[in-house]
Protein backbone atom coordinates (compact mmCIF):
# COMPACT_ATOMS: atom_id res chain seq x y z
CA UNK A 1 0.00 0.00 0.00
CA UNK A 2 2.90 2.35 0.73
CA UNK A 3 5.57 1.96 -1.97
CA UNK A 4 9.01 3.29 -1.28
CA UNK A 5 9.36 4.93 -4.70
CA UNK A 6 6.83 7.30 -6.21
CA UNK A 7 7.81 6.53 -9.77
CA UNK A 8 8.08 8.53 -12.96
CA UNK A 9 4.36 8.17 -13.66
CA UNK A 10 3.44 10.01 -10.48
CA UNK A 11 5.85 12.82 -11.37
CA UNK A 12 4.13 13.27 -14.72
CA UNK A 13 0.66 13.12 -13.18
CA UNK A 14 1.58 15.60 -10.46
CA UNK A 15 3.10 18.07 -12.91
CA UNK A 16 0.06 17.86 -15.17
CA UNK A 17 -2.41 18.28 -12.34
CA UNK A 18 -0.54 21.21 -10.83
CA UNK A 19 -0.54 23.10 -14.11
CA UNK A 20 -4.20 22.28 -14.77
CA UNK A 21 -5.50 23.14 -11.33
CA UNK A 22 -6.48 26.71 -12.16
CA UNK A 23 -9.02 25.45 -14.70
CA UNK A 24 -10.90 23.26 -12.21
CA UNK A 25 -12.82 26.13 -10.62
CA UNK A 26 -12.79 29.74 -11.63
CA UNK A 27 -13.84 30.93 -8.19
CA UNK A 28 -10.86 29.19 -6.60
CA UNK A 29 -8.32 30.52 -9.13
CA UNK A 30 -5.98 27.67 -8.36
CA UNK A 31 -6.04 28.25 -4.61
CA UNK A 32 -6.82 25.07 -2.67
CA UNK A 33 -8.85 24.98 0.50
CA UNK A 34 -6.76 24.09 3.55
CA UNK A 35 -7.67 21.99 6.59
CA UNK A 36 -5.21 21.38 9.41
CA UNK A 37 -6.40 18.82 11.95
CA UNK A 38 -4.21 19.02 15.04
CA UNK A 39 -4.72 16.62 17.93
CA UNK A 40 -3.30 16.90 21.42
CA UNK A 41 -0.88 14.42 23.05
CA UNK A 42 -1.52 11.56 20.62
CA UNK A 43 0.98 8.70 20.76
CA UNK A 44 3.00 7.92 17.64
CA UNK A 45 1.76 4.33 17.63
CA UNK A 46 -1.92 5.20 18.21
CA UNK A 47 -3.16 5.47 14.62
CA UNK A 48 -3.73 2.66 12.20
CA UNK A 49 -1.36 4.05 9.58
CA UNK A 50 1.46 3.70 12.14
CA UNK A 51 0.46 0.17 13.07
CA UNK A 52 -1.94 0.58 15.99
CA UNK A 53 -3.75 -2.69 16.76
CA UNK A 54 -6.20 -1.88 19.58
CA UNK A 55 -7.61 1.52 18.50
CA UNK A 56 -9.15 1.48 15.01
CA UNK A 57 -8.73 4.83 13.25
CA UNK A 58 -10.22 4.15 9.80
CA UNK A 59 -10.99 7.78 9.05
CA UNK A 60 -7.67 9.21 10.12
CA UNK A 61 -6.11 6.42 8.07
CA UNK A 62 -8.08 7.65 5.05
CA UNK A 63 -5.89 10.74 4.97
CA UNK A 64 -2.78 8.58 4.72
CA UNK A 65 -4.44 6.28 2.15
CA UNK A 66 -5.55 9.26 0.07
CA UNK A 67 -2.12 10.85 0.26
CA UNK A 68 1.15 10.57 2.16
CA UNK A 69 2.12 9.38 5.61
CA UNK A 70 5.33 10.88 6.97
CA UNK A 71 7.15 8.18 8.90
CA UNK A 72 9.64 10.74 10.20
CA UNK A 73 7.33 13.69 10.75
CA UNK A 74 8.40 16.04 13.53
CA UNK A 75 7.04 18.98 15.48
CA UNK A 76 9.25 21.87 16.57
CA UNK A 77 8.81 21.38 20.33
CA UNK A 78 7.70 18.52 22.59
CA UNK A 79 5.00 20.52 24.44
CA UNK A 80 1.74 22.10 23.33
CA UNK A 81 2.13 25.89 23.20
CA UNK A 82 5.54 26.24 21.54
CA UNK A 83 4.68 23.48 19.06
CA UNK A 84 1.53 25.34 18.03
CA UNK A 85 3.39 28.63 17.74
CA UNK A 86 5.82 27.00 15.33
CA UNK A 87 3.09 25.42 13.24
CA UNK A 88 0.96 28.56 12.91
CA UNK A 89 3.94 30.77 11.94
CA UNK A 90 6.12 28.35 9.97
CA UNK A 91 9.08 29.49 12.07
CA UNK A 92 11.09 28.07 14.92
CA UNK A 93 9.19 29.54 17.86
CA UNK A 94 12.37 30.34 19.78
CA UNK A 95 13.17 32.93 17.12
CA UNK A 96 10.44 35.08 18.66
CA UNK A 97 10.67 34.07 22.29
CA UNK A 98 7.92 31.46 22.49
CA UNK A 99 10.09 28.89 24.22
CA UNK A 100 7.63 28.04 27.01
CA UNK A 101 4.08 26.86 27.47
CA UNK A 102 2.25 30.13 28.15
CA UNK A 103 0.26 30.76 31.30
CA UNK A 104 -3.35 31.80 30.91
CA UNK A 105 -3.15 35.48 31.81
CA UNK A 106 -5.82 37.47 29.95
CA UNK A 107 -4.43 40.83 31.10
CA UNK A 108 -0.94 40.16 29.75
CA UNK A 109 -0.28 40.78 26.06
CA UNK A 110 3.17 39.22 26.43
CA UNK A 111 1.72 35.81 27.39
CA UNK A 112 1.27 34.43 23.92
CA UNK A 113 2.18 34.78 20.25
CA UNK A 114 3.97 38.13 19.72
CA UNK A 115 2.27 40.60 17.41
CA UNK A 116 5.47 40.68 15.34
CA UNK A 117 4.55 37.21 14.07
CA UNK A 118 2.23 36.57 11.16
CA UNK A 119 -0.06 33.56 11.33
CA UNK A 120 -0.95 31.33 8.40
CA UNK A 121 -4.49 32.66 8.69
CA UNK A 122 -3.28 36.23 8.15
CA UNK A 123 -1.25 35.25 5.10
CA UNK A 124 -4.14 33.36 3.54
CA UNK A 125 -6.61 36.12 4.34
CA UNK A 126 -4.63 38.42 2.05
CA UNK A 127 -5.27 35.88 -0.69
CA UNK A 128 -9.04 35.93 -0.20
CA UNK A 129 -9.40 32.98 2.18
CA UNK A 130 -12.03 32.81 4.90
CA UNK A 131 -10.48 31.31 8.03
CA UNK A 132 -11.85 29.62 11.11
CA UNK A 133 -10.08 28.35 14.22
CA UNK A 134 -11.88 25.60 16.12
CA UNK A 135 -10.93 24.07 19.45
CA UNK A 136 -7.82 24.76 21.52
CA UNK A 137 -6.05 28.09 20.97
CA UNK A 138 -3.25 28.30 23.59
CA UNK A 139 -1.54 31.19 21.82
CA UNK A 140 -2.65 33.93 24.20
CA UNK A 141 -5.70 34.96 26.20
CA UNK A 142 -5.25 38.73 25.93
CA UNK A 143 -7.92 40.38 23.77
CA UNK A 144 -5.34 41.29 21.11
CA UNK A 145 -3.92 37.77 20.91
CA UNK A 146 -7.15 35.87 20.30
CA UNK A 147 -8.00 34.19 16.98
CA UNK A 148 -10.12 37.00 15.53
CA UNK A 149 -7.16 39.35 15.97
CA UNK A 150 -4.68 36.89 14.44
CA UNK A 151 -6.15 36.48 10.97
CA UNK A 152 -9.15 34.24 11.59
CA UNK A 153 -12.66 35.34 10.67
CA UNK A 154 -14.40 32.89 13.01
CA UNK A 155 -13.62 31.06 16.22
CA UNK A 156 -15.31 28.28 18.17
CA UNK A 157 -13.54 26.84 21.17
CA UNK A 158 -11.50 27.87 24.18
CA UNK A 159 -8.42 30.01 24.74
CA UNK A 160 -6.41 28.11 27.32
CA UNK A 161 -4.25 24.98 27.13
CA UNK A 162 -6.94 22.49 28.09
CA UNK A 163 -10.62 22.01 28.85
CA UNK A 164 -13.13 19.66 30.41
CA UNK A 165 -15.07 17.58 27.88
CA UNK A 166 -18.53 17.35 29.44
CA UNK A 167 -20.88 20.37 29.17
CA UNK A 168 -22.07 20.01 32.77
CA UNK A 169 -18.54 20.98 33.87
CA UNK A 170 -18.59 24.27 31.98
CA UNK A 171 -19.90 26.37 34.85
CA UNK A 172 -17.94 29.61 34.46
CA UNK A 173 -19.62 32.27 32.35
CA UNK A 174 -16.60 34.47 31.72
CA UNK A 175 -12.94 34.99 32.52
CA UNK A 176 -13.67 37.32 35.41
CA UNK A 177 -14.69 34.23 37.42
CA UNK A 178 -11.31 32.53 37.15
CA UNK A 179 -9.32 31.95 40.32
CA UNK A 180 -6.34 29.90 39.10
CA UNK A 181 -4.63 28.60 35.94
CA UNK A 182 -6.75 25.48 35.53
CA UNK A 183 -10.13 26.98 36.38
CA UNK A 184 -10.20 28.10 32.74
CA UNK A 185 -10.91 24.44 31.94
CA UNK A 186 -14.42 25.10 33.27
CA UNK A 187 -15.34 28.11 31.14
CA UNK A 188 -18.21 28.01 28.68
CA UNK A 189 -17.07 27.80 25.08
CA UNK A 190 -16.60 30.83 22.90
CA UNK A 191 -18.26 31.43 19.56
CA UNK A 192 -16.27 34.32 18.15
CA UNK A 193 -16.27 36.74 21.12
CA UNK A 194 -19.39 35.48 22.90
CA UNK A 195 -19.91 32.78 25.52
CA UNK A 196 -22.42 30.15 24.48
CA UNK A 197 -24.38 27.32 26.06
CA UNK A 198 -23.12 24.14 24.38
CA UNK A 199 -24.74 20.78 25.10
CA UNK A 200 -22.57 18.27 23.22
CA UNK A 201 -19.47 16.37 24.28
CA UNK A 202 -16.56 18.66 23.44
CA UNK A 203 -14.99 16.58 20.66
CA UNK A 204 -18.37 16.07 18.98
CA UNK A 205 -19.13 19.80 19.19
CA UNK A 206 -15.81 20.69 17.55
CA UNK A 207 -16.42 18.16 14.76
CA UNK A 208 -19.94 19.50 14.19
CA UNK A 209 -18.68 23.06 13.85
CA UNK A 210 -15.96 21.95 11.42
CA UNK A 211 -18.49 20.23 9.16
CA UNK A 212 -20.78 23.26 9.32
CA UNK A 213 -17.90 25.51 8.34
CA UNK A 214 -17.05 23.40 5.30
CA UNK A 215 -20.70 23.45 4.28
CA UNK A 216 -21.13 27.19 4.77
CA UNK A 217 -17.90 28.23 3.04
CA UNK A 218 -17.74 25.69 0.25
CA UNK A 219 -18.19 28.35 -2.44
CA UNK A 220 -15.06 30.30 -1.48
CA UNK A 221 -11.47 29.45 -0.55
CA UNK A 222 -11.34 28.51 3.12
CA UNK A 223 -8.81 27.70 5.82
CA UNK A 224 -9.91 25.51 8.71
CA UNK A 225 -7.60 25.11 11.71
CA UNK A 226 -9.22 22.36 13.77
CA UNK A 227 -7.33 21.87 17.03
CA UNK A 228 -8.93 19.05 18.96
CA UNK A 229 -8.26 18.96 22.71
CA UNK A 230 -8.39 15.15 22.65
CA UNK A 231 -6.76 12.99 23.80
CA UNK A 232 -5.23 15.48 26.27
CA UNK A 233 -6.21 15.00 29.90
CA UNK A 234 -8.58 14.99 31.69
CA UNK A 235 -9.48 11.55 30.37
CA UNK A 236 -13.21 11.87 29.73
CA UNK A 237 -15.32 10.01 27.18
CA UNK A 238 -18.99 9.29 26.65
CA UNK A 239 -20.49 5.82 26.80
CA UNK A 240 -20.97 5.93 23.03
CA UNK A 241 -17.20 5.73 22.58
CA UNK A 242 -16.28 3.78 25.71
CA UNK A 243 -18.39 0.79 24.75
CA UNK A 244 -16.30 0.34 21.62
CA UNK A 245 -13.32 -0.63 23.78
CA UNK A 246 -14.65 -3.00 26.41
CA UNK A 247 -11.88 -5.39 25.32
CA UNK A 248 -9.20 -3.04 26.71
CA UNK A 249 -8.71 -3.95 30.35
CA UNK A 250 -6.60 -0.96 31.36
CA UNK A 251 -9.10 1.76 32.31
CA UNK A 252 -6.79 4.63 31.37
CA UNK A 253 -6.01 3.12 27.98
CA UNK A 254 -9.71 2.35 27.41
CA UNK A 255 -10.79 5.94 28.03
CA UNK A 256 -7.90 7.24 25.94
CA UNK A 257 -8.93 4.93 23.10
CA UNK A 258 -12.50 6.19 23.32
CA UNK A 259 -11.29 9.78 23.04
CA UNK A 260 -9.18 8.96 19.98
CA UNK A 261 -12.17 7.18 18.45
CA UNK A 262 -14.30 10.29 18.93
CA UNK A 263 -11.72 12.29 16.99
CA UNK A 264 -11.67 9.64 14.28
CA UNK A 265 -15.44 9.91 13.87
CA UNK A 266 -15.10 13.66 13.46
CA UNK A 267 -12.35 13.31 10.87
CA UNK A 268 -14.62 10.96 8.93
CA UNK A 269 -17.44 13.50 8.98
CA UNK A 270 -15.13 16.18 7.61
CA UNK A 271 -13.73 13.97 4.86
CA UNK A 272 -17.28 12.90 3.94
CA UNK A 273 -18.32 16.54 3.70
CA UNK A 274 -15.46 17.26 1.30
CA UNK A 275 -16.56 14.33 -0.86
CA UNK A 276 -20.24 15.27 -0.72
CA UNK A 277 -19.54 18.85 -1.78
CA UNK A 278 -17.05 17.80 -4.46
CA UNK A 279 -14.23 19.58 -2.64
CA UNK A 280 -11.80 16.73 -2.01
CA UNK A 281 -9.62 17.44 -5.04
CA UNK A 282 -9.35 21.11 -4.17
CA UNK A 283 -8.58 20.73 -0.48
CA UNK A 284 -5.28 20.06 1.27
CA UNK A 285 -5.84 18.13 4.50
CA UNK A 286 -3.18 17.67 7.18
CA UNK A 287 -3.37 15.50 10.27
CA UNK A 288 -0.79 15.54 13.09
CA UNK A 289 -0.30 15.67 16.83
CA UNK A 290 1.16 18.69 18.62
CA UNK A 291 3.73 16.49 20.40
CA UNK A 292 4.32 12.90 21.39
CA UNK A 293 2.14 11.05 23.84
CA UNK A 294 2.72 11.36 27.61
CA UNK A 295 2.36 7.60 28.02
CA UNK A 296 2.16 7.47 31.82
CA UNK A 297 -0.37 10.27 32.05
CA UNK A 298 -2.94 9.50 29.37
CA UNK A 299 -2.36 5.88 28.37
CA UNK A 300 -0.86 6.72 24.97
CA UNK A 301 1.70 4.57 23.15
CA UNK A 302 4.74 5.89 21.29
CA UNK A 303 5.82 2.42 20.21
CA UNK A 304 9.59 1.95 20.11
CA UNK A 305 10.23 5.69 20.32
CA UNK A 306 12.03 6.77 23.48
CA UNK A 307 10.20 8.84 26.12
CA UNK A 308 7.32 11.13 25.09
CA UNK A 309 5.83 14.56 25.65
CA UNK A 310 8.30 17.01 27.17
CA UNK A 311 11.43 15.24 25.87
CA UNK A 312 13.64 15.81 22.84
CA UNK A 313 14.03 12.10 22.33
CA UNK A 314 12.01 10.81 19.37
CA UNK A 315 8.97 10.03 21.50
CA UNK A 316 8.50 13.70 22.28
CA UNK A 317 8.91 15.21 18.82
CA UNK A 318 8.16 12.52 16.21
CA UNK A 319 4.38 12.38 15.75
CA UNK A 320 1.63 10.81 13.62
CA UNK A 321 1.66 12.99 10.51
CA UNK A 322 -0.23 12.59 7.23
CA UNK A 323 -1.40 14.75 4.34
CA UNK A 324 -3.79 14.38 1.43
CA UNK A 325 -4.50 16.48 -1.63
CA UNK A 326 -6.42 14.16 -3.87
CA UNK A 327 -5.34 14.23 -7.47
CA UNK A 328 -2.46 16.57 -6.69
CA UNK A 329 -0.06 14.43 -4.64
CA UNK A 330 0.48 10.67 -4.85
CA UNK A 331 -1.86 8.44 -2.86
CA UNK A 332 -0.92 5.63 -0.48
CA UNK A 333 2.70 6.69 -0.20
CA UNK A 334 5.07 6.54 2.77
CA UNK A 335 7.61 9.37 2.78
CA UNK A 336 10.66 8.42 4.82
CA UNK A 337 12.74 11.59 4.89
CA UNK A 338 12.48 13.97 7.86
CA UNK A 339 9.87 16.70 7.64
CA UNK A 340 8.59 19.08 10.31
CA UNK A 341 5.32 20.81 11.15
CA UNK A 342 6.90 24.12 10.07
CA UNK A 343 6.66 22.82 6.50
CA UNK A 344 2.87 23.06 6.52
CA UNK A 345 2.97 26.87 6.42
CA UNK A 346 5.50 26.90 3.57
CA UNK A 347 3.66 24.26 1.55
CA UNK A 348 0.28 25.93 1.92
CA UNK A 349 1.71 29.35 1.10
CA UNK A 350 3.27 28.00 -2.08
CA UNK A 351 0.05 26.28 -3.15
CA UNK A 352 -1.96 29.46 -2.46
CA UNK A 353 0.68 31.64 -4.16
CA UNK A 354 0.91 33.67 -0.97
CA UNK A 355 3.91 35.65 0.27
CA UNK A 356 4.56 35.67 4.02
CA UNK A 357 6.27 38.76 5.42
CA UNK A 358 8.60 36.82 7.74
CA UNK A 359 11.32 34.40 6.67
CA UNK A 360 10.09 30.83 7.10
CA UNK A 361 12.02 27.89 8.49
CA UNK A 362 9.72 25.37 6.82
CA UNK A 363 9.99 24.32 3.19
CA UNK A 364 7.48 23.64 0.43
CA UNK A 365 7.07 19.86 0.39
CA UNK A 366 5.19 19.56 -2.90
CA UNK A 367 8.23 19.05 -5.17
CA UNK A 368 9.60 16.42 -2.79
CA UNK A 369 6.30 14.55 -2.66
CA UNK A 370 6.00 14.71 -6.43
CA UNK A 371 9.45 13.25 -6.89
CA UNK A 372 10.63 16.26 -8.88
CA UNK A 373 13.10 16.95 -6.08
CA UNK A 374 14.77 13.85 -4.66
CA UNK A 375 16.90 15.69 -2.13
CA UNK A 376 16.18 15.74 1.59
CA UNK A 377 13.83 18.66 2.44
CA UNK A 378 15.96 19.71 5.44
CA UNK A 379 19.73 19.40 5.68
CA UNK A 380 19.45 20.16 9.38
CA UNK A 381 16.63 20.17 11.95
CA UNK A 382 16.97 21.81 15.36
CA UNK A 383 15.17 21.75 18.70
CA UNK A 384 15.60 23.58 22.01
CA UNK A 385 13.99 23.55 25.46
CA UNK A 386 15.20 26.67 27.21
CA UNK A 387 14.36 25.85 30.82
CA UNK A 388 15.77 22.31 30.67
CA UNK A 389 18.85 23.56 28.81
CA UNK A 390 18.20 20.71 26.41
CA UNK A 391 18.70 20.69 22.66
CA UNK A 392 18.89 18.43 19.64
CA UNK A 393 20.11 18.61 16.07
CA UNK A 394 19.53 16.10 13.30
CA UNK A 395 21.54 15.86 10.08
CA UNK A 396 20.73 12.91 7.85
CA UNK A 397 20.34 9.83 10.02
CA UNK A 398 22.44 11.16 12.89
CA UNK A 399 20.91 13.02 15.82
CA UNK A 400 22.82 14.72 18.60
CA UNK A 401 20.63 15.25 21.67
CA UNK A 402 21.16 16.62 25.13
CA UNK A 403 17.79 15.71 26.61
CA UNK A 404 18.31 16.66 30.25
CA UNK A 405 20.77 19.53 30.01
CA UNK A 406 23.66 17.36 31.17
CA UNK A 407 24.50 14.48 28.83
CA UNK A 408 25.14 14.67 25.10
CA UNK A 409 24.17 11.57 23.14
CA UNK A 410 24.51 10.64 19.48
CA UNK A 411 22.19 8.18 17.73
CA UNK A 412 21.92 6.73 14.24
CA UNK A 413 18.16 6.80 13.78
CA UNK A 414 18.19 4.62 10.67
CA UNK A 415 19.54 1.75 12.76
CA UNK A 416 18.37 2.76 16.22
CA UNK A 417 14.95 4.42 16.14
CA UNK A 418 14.54 3.79 19.86
CA UNK A 419 17.74 5.75 20.68
CA UNK A 420 19.26 2.98 22.76
CA UNK A 421 22.90 3.00 21.62
CA UNK A 422 24.89 6.14 22.35
CA UNK A 423 27.63 6.59 19.73
CA UNK A 424 29.04 9.84 21.12
CA UNK A 425 32.37 8.45 22.37
CA UNK A 426 33.13 6.82 19.02
CA UNK A 427 32.53 9.98 16.97
CA UNK A 428 34.37 12.98 18.48
CA UNK A 429 34.53 14.83 15.14
CA UNK A 430 30.78 14.52 14.59
CA UNK A 431 30.13 15.64 18.14
CA UNK A 432 32.28 18.72 17.64
CA UNK A 433 30.65 19.58 14.30
CA UNK A 434 27.10 19.18 15.58
CA UNK A 435 27.85 21.11 18.76
CA UNK A 436 29.19 24.02 16.70
CA UNK A 437 26.06 24.01 14.55
CA UNK A 438 23.86 23.99 17.60
CA UNK A 439 25.75 26.84 19.23
CA UNK A 440 25.47 28.93 16.05
CA UNK A 441 21.72 28.27 15.80
CA UNK A 442 21.07 29.16 19.44
CA UNK A 443 22.69 32.56 18.85
CA UNK A 444 19.84 33.30 16.41
CA UNK A 445 17.19 32.65 19.07
CA UNK A 446 15.56 34.71 21.79
CA UNK A 447 15.13 33.83 25.41
CA UNK A 448 11.48 33.27 26.37
CA UNK A 449 9.45 36.48 26.50
CA UNK A 450 7.18 35.21 29.27
CA UNK A 451 7.05 32.97 32.31
CA UNK A 452 5.55 29.55 31.64
CA UNK A 453 3.40 26.91 33.30
CA UNK A 454 6.15 25.90 35.71
CA UNK A 455 6.33 29.48 36.97
CA UNK A 456 2.68 29.82 37.96
CA UNK A 457 3.32 30.78 41.60
CA UNK A 458 6.07 33.19 40.62
CA UNK A 459 3.80 34.85 38.06
CA UNK A 460 0.91 35.15 40.51
CA UNK A 461 3.18 36.82 43.04
CA UNK A 462 4.24 39.43 40.49
CA UNK A 463 0.73 39.83 39.05
CA UNK A 464 -1.82 39.74 41.91
CA UNK A 465 -4.51 41.16 39.60
CA UNK A 466 -4.03 38.41 37.05
CA UNK A 467 -7.76 37.60 36.67
CA UNK A 468 -9.26 40.98 37.56
CA UNK A 469 -10.64 41.81 34.16
CA UNK A 470 -13.86 43.01 32.65
CA UNK A 471 -16.39 40.31 31.94
CA UNK A 472 -15.56 38.29 28.83
CA angle 378, 379, 381 (to 5 degrees): 65
Q: What is the DSSP string of 442-467?
A: HTT----SS-BGGGHHHHHHH-TTTT
How far from the centroid of its chain's Cα atoms is residue 346's Cα? 15
Q: List the beta strands (DSSP E) in 211-369.
A: 222-227, 283-289, 321-324, 333-335, 339-340
CA angle 439, 440, 443 (to 5 degrees): 90
d(CA 301, CA 307): 10
- Running DSSP on this structure, what letter comes out for residue 12? H
Q: Which residues pair with 264 in a beta bridge?
A: none
CA angle 274, 69, 297 (to 5 degrees): 95
Active site residue 138: yes
Identify the active-site residue in 138, 163, 232, 378: 138
Active site residue 80: yes
d(CA 241, CA 46): 16
d(CA 458, CA 441): 30
Q: List the beta strands (DSSP E) in 169-312.
A: 190-191, 194-195, 222-227, 283-289
Identify the active-site residue in 52, 80, 163, 232: 80
Active site residues: 80, 138
Amino acid sequence: MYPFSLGILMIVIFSFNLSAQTSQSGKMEGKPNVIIILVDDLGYNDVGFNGCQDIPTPNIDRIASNGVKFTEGYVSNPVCGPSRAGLITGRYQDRFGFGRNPLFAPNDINQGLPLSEETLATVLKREGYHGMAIGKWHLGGHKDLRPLKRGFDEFFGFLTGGHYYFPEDWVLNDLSELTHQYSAYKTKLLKNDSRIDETEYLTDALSREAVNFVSNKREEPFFLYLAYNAPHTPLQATEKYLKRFSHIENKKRRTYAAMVSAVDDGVGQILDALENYDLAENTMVYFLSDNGGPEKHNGSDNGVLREGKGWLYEGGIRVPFAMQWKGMIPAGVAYHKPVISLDIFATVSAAAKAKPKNKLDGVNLLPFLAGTNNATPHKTLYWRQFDKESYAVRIGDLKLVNADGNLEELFNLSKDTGELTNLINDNPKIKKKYSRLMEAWIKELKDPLFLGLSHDKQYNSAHPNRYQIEKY
